[in-house]
Amino acid sequence: MKSLISFKSIFPILLASTALLQTGSVGASDSAPPVPIAEKGAGSVQTILERIDVGPYELPNLSLKTNLNYAHSSSDVEPYGGVKPFKEHFLVQMEYTGPGRSIPEPENLSSVKIGFLGPIMPTVSVATGGKSHNEETLGIAMLRACRLAIEEANAKGGYLKRKIPFELCVRNDNALWGASGSEVIHLAYKDEVWAIVGGIDGANTHIAIRVALKIEIPWMTPGDLDPTYIETNIPWVMRCIGDDRQLNYILVDYAMRKLNCKRPAIIRSSNRYGRFGVREIRDSCRRMGRPSVIEMAYKGGAQSFEMQLDRIQEYKPDVIFHWGNGDDGARVLNAIRARGWKQPFLTCDRCVSDEFLKIAGDNAEGVVCGYPWDPDRKDPQLTAFRESFSKRWGAEADTYAAHAYDGMNMLIWAIQNAGLNRAKIRDILAYRTGAFPGVTGQIPLSSAMDDEGDVFLAIRENGKWIYHSREELGISRGKVIEKSRLDRVQLNSK
């Protein structure tokens, strides 16, 4: 992909068609062996490839994905439960209607570049609540997994159609407001990548994906669990990990439907992660008729929580929800147990960490965390990944590494099948009907291009994290799909 655009002139060009940026033809590579395709028949990858091969003024003759409900929401926790909305969003897939599918592959490529954007160096940001806190560890794990996926793909022949290697282009998500957008511009126009893997911090990722929308480049997120991320409704954006909305639902259902708690309290970090992380906990509890009795916030890195706990004590809660980083969660838990409180402590996936256990000690016993996958399941693919990751990096693969590995492999698969065309790379993932078989489990993308696979509860039992599904714990979900929804989905699709 040959770019003729200077970096200084980038912002005006963001509004122009990407057809001006990708020029050239395939030439001699037309005779290369066909790329292997997984399925055949109606709705197969082969059919998708045939139907996305259209001109600049045509749209693929493919049905848009539709869902009967958004993010597996139970009907009793959905908004507008007492009325029929005029339109419900996120039930019908966003369609890309631009001319990008007609852009041919460029000539004279020596590698196929894929971008990575993540926090790999500490920085300071007003937007994210001050000094970056622990996210560099998560970002480095993601980066290592992406490198491993690239190396494995190259060992198998690289980009098979052209017989050239894949190459990873890395940029730091430095958490300065707006800087993430500049890094995306660098990846797209200087490094000339075909797709990007990245995102942990919600504020930064929101900026980055809006730049990706203007550039028209596929964006895969394995680490940002912010529910509002996918609600931007950008057709280039997808996520390969269950989000905080899903984790909120399983935690609330466990507390309210199984434990029959009636007076929930919330304590959370004051940054964006904490604020947006508990949104569906707050809303779900209220809609189920058991509203949160109090919500208190603390500053990340705080050592004392006396003021917050004094206030919470006044309301006599029977369950405490927490959202924040693992070390903060451990200190909150220790302060709660030091007061002799015995309420269930339900928290987020970041507390499933060595740092949380080191600080919490024996208090960690009985803690319940929402978790986006089951890392204990028996799967040869997962075992092989863990062994390869440990051998390559001398460290154990965490959840961020596993999901980044899956996200990168999804993009590599899309490029192998769709070729070097950003719109078609996006299309083959968007229209794919089958779930992607990842090391984290089956990854089915919803109509909103979000991972709608199962999420789990990690419960600390006898000094170990034990991962449970809803079915194993007998957690009811409530009524999910109403018969009347069928008509409403059809209305939304018109």
Per residue in 317-368, pLDDT (tens digit) is 999 999 999 999 999 999 999 999 999 999 999 999 999 999 999 999 999 9
- Nearest CA among 347, 424, 344 for reference residue 62: 424
Integer Rg of the chain from CA: 23
Q: Is the pLDDT of residue 70 over 80?
A: yes
Distances (CA, A) of 236 to 173, 315, 449, 481: 19, 45, 9, 28
Q: What are phi and psi of 296, to 5 degrees?
A: -120, 145
**Four-point Cα dihedral 445, 181, 234, 10, nearest 10:** -130
pLDDT of residue 34: 36
7-62+93-242+379-443 and 245-371+456-473 agree in CATH topology: yes
pLDDT-derived band at 177 (thresholds 50, 70, 90) equals low
Domain ranges of the chain: 7-62+93-242+379-443, 245-371+456-473
Q: What does the pLDDT average to over 84-110?
A: 90
Q: What is the mean pLDDT of residues 244-249?
A: 94
478 pLDDT tier (thresholds 50, 70, 90): confident
pLDDT tier at 41 (50, 70, 90 boundaries)?
very low
The residues with which 297 forms a beta bridge, in sequence order, are 268
What are residue 426's DSSP bridge partners?
none
Question: pLDDT tens digit string along 207-239?
Answer: 888 899 999 999 999 999 998 888 888 999 999
How far is Cα 278 from Cα 329, in angstroms, rounded to an integer? 14
The tally of CA atoms less than 13 A away on the side-chain side of residue 367 is 32
Q: Using the predicted structure, report yes or no on whether residue 493 has a pLDDT greater than 70.
A: no
Q: Among 386, 334, 325, which residue's Cα sits nearest to residue 362?
A: 334
CATH of 245-371+456-473, one of 3.30.70.980, 3.40.50.720, 3.40.50.880, 3.40.50.2300: 3.40.50.2300
Give the model's pLDDT for residue 35: 40
Helices 399-418 and 422-431, interaxial angle, to 10°?
110
User: Hey, what amino acid is at 367?
Assistant: V
Q: How confident is the model at residue 457, as a pLDDT?
A: 98
CA dihedral 252, 360, 403, 146 (to 10 degrees): 160
Give CA–CA dist 327/182, Å, rounded: 31
Average pLDDT over residues 86-106: 91
Task: Categorize the per-residue pLDDT at 38 as very low, low, confident or very high, splitting at 50, 70 and 90.
Answer: very low
What pLDDT, on a 0 to 100 scale, did the predictor assign at position 135? 77
Beta bridge partners of 347: 369
Q: What is the CATH T-level fold of the domain 7-62+93-242+379-443, as seen in this structure? A: Rossmann fold (3.40.50)
| DSSP-assigned states of every residue in 18-75 | GGGT-----GGGGGSPPPP-S--STTSHHHHHHHT---TT-----PPPB-SSSTT--T
Q: Is the pLDDT of residue 5 over 90?
A: no
b/e burial code for range 468-477 (CB count within 10 A of at least 16 → b): bebeeeebeb
One DSSP character per residue, 165-203 reads -EEEEEEE----TTHHHHHHHIIIIIS--S-EEE--SHH
Q: Where are the beta strands (DSSP E) in 348-429?
A: 368-371
**Dihedral (CA of 109, 114, 117, 121) sign:** negative
- Helix (H/G/I), strand (E/B), else coil: 408: helix
DSSP, res 433: -
Tell me the β-bridge partners of 221.
239
Q: What is the mean pLDDT of residues 237-242?
A: 95
Q: Alpha helices, DSSP H only, in 265-373?
A: 272-277, 279-287, 306-314, 326-338, 354-360
**H or E element at residue 319:** strand 319-323
pLDDT given for residue 477 in this prediction: 83
Residue with tokens 């078989």: 437
Q: CA angle, 410 as apex, 217 and 468 as ends, to 5°?
A: 125
